């Protein structure tokens, strides 16, 4: 019996899914998912791999593996930036995913 060939990405995803089921970990811990938390209209926490594409006082564009997130507002500033976390503060008026 011949087994179908799988790409390295498919094998990696299958292994990740099995680990997740056994350990019962949240998907954002094991996977390459994106988590966006909005607190009031003052703070946004973006967890996951992301890059700042544009940064202005009234507009910030964030690129991730799957989405481009645009944030419109006033007095927007990046409070924290690390490999997996991004915190934005200011008067947030609109968030869009493309």
Output the CA–CA distances (angstroms, integers) from residue 53 to 59, 61, 69, 91, in the order listed. 11, 5, 10, 20
Q: What is the pLDDT of residues 46-93, one digit of tens each?
A: 988 889 999 999 999 999 888 899 999 999 999 999 888 899 999 999
Looking at residue 37, what is its pLDDT?
92
The whole model's pTM is what?
A: 0.69
Helix (H) or strand (E) holding 23: helix 8-23
Q: What is the pLDDT of residues 1-41, one digit of tens each?
A: 556 677 777 777 777 777 767 776 665 555 567 889 999 99
3-class state of residue 16 by DSSP: helix
Residue 19: count of CB within 10 angstroms of its CB: 11
3-class state of residue 30 by DSSP: helix
Assigned CATH class of 32-97:
mainly beta
- Structural domain boundaries of the chain? 32-97
């Amino acid at each position: 019996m011949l087994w179908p060939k799988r790409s390295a990405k498919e094998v990696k995803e299958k292994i990740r899914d099995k680990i997740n089921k056994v350990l019962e970990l949240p998907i954002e811990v094991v996977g390459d998912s994106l988590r966006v938390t909005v607190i009031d209209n003052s703070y946004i926490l973006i967890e996951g791999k992301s890059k700042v594409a544009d940064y202005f006082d009234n507009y910030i564009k964030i690129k991730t593996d799957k989405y481009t997130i645009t944030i419109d507002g006033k007095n927007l500033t990046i409070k924290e930036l690390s490999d997996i976390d991004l915190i934005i503060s200011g008067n947030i008026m609109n968030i869009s995913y493309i």
